[in-house]
């Protein structure tokens, strides 16, 4: 069950990353045409950096159960929970809770932490 929680957390994180990246390119940056090119480029890079971090953490969460190390599993889960948890809180705060992204990232946070709980002997 712990492995399933880690895989689900990673899968949710990867889905969130892809949706975040695609929506940024198709909606956010299209409306950013009125700002200077340098600022628009910086906005795009920072936006996609977040998506890349979520994707990378998702891959690590999926791989963690197969690493054979409880310490690695716990640290990957803790870092994943920190990355997704901060993003969930920031999203909820910035949008007043009206955007579904914070719920997806909050679920990934909780699943990552659930996957880190040591198995009973």
Helix locations, 1-121, DSSP H: 2-23, 29-31, 37-63, 70-95, 101-116
> 78 vs 39, which has greater pLDDT?
78
- Indicate the pLDDT class of residue 115, thresholds 50, 70 and 90: very high
- Indicate the pLDDT class of residue 77, thresholds 50, 70 and 90: very high
Q: Are 85 and 107 in contact (CB under 8 A)?
A: no
d(CA 70, CA 51): 27
pLDDT at position 47 over 90: no
Q: Are 58 and 77 in contact (CB under 8 A)?
A: no
> Which sequence spans correspond to the domains of the chain?
2-116
d(CA 92, CA 85): 11
Residues in the chain: 121
Q: Specify the pTM.
A: 0.87
d(CA 100, CA 88): 10
């Amino acid at each position: 069950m712990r492995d399933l929680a880690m895989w689900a957390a990673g899968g949710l994180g990867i889905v969130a990353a892809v949706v975040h990246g695609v929506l940024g390119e198709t909606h956010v940056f299209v409306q950013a045409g009125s700002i200077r090119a340098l600022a628009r480029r910086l906005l795009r890079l920072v936006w996609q950096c977040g998506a890349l971090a979520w994707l990378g953490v998702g891959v690590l969460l999926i791989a963690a159960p197969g690493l054979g190390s409880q310490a690695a599993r716990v640290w990957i889960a803790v870092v994943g929970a920190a990355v997704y948890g901060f993003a969930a809180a920031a999203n909820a705060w910035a949008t007043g809770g009206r955007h579904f992204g914070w719920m997806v990232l909050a679920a990934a946070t909780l699943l990552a932490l659930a996957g880190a709980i040591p198995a009973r002997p």
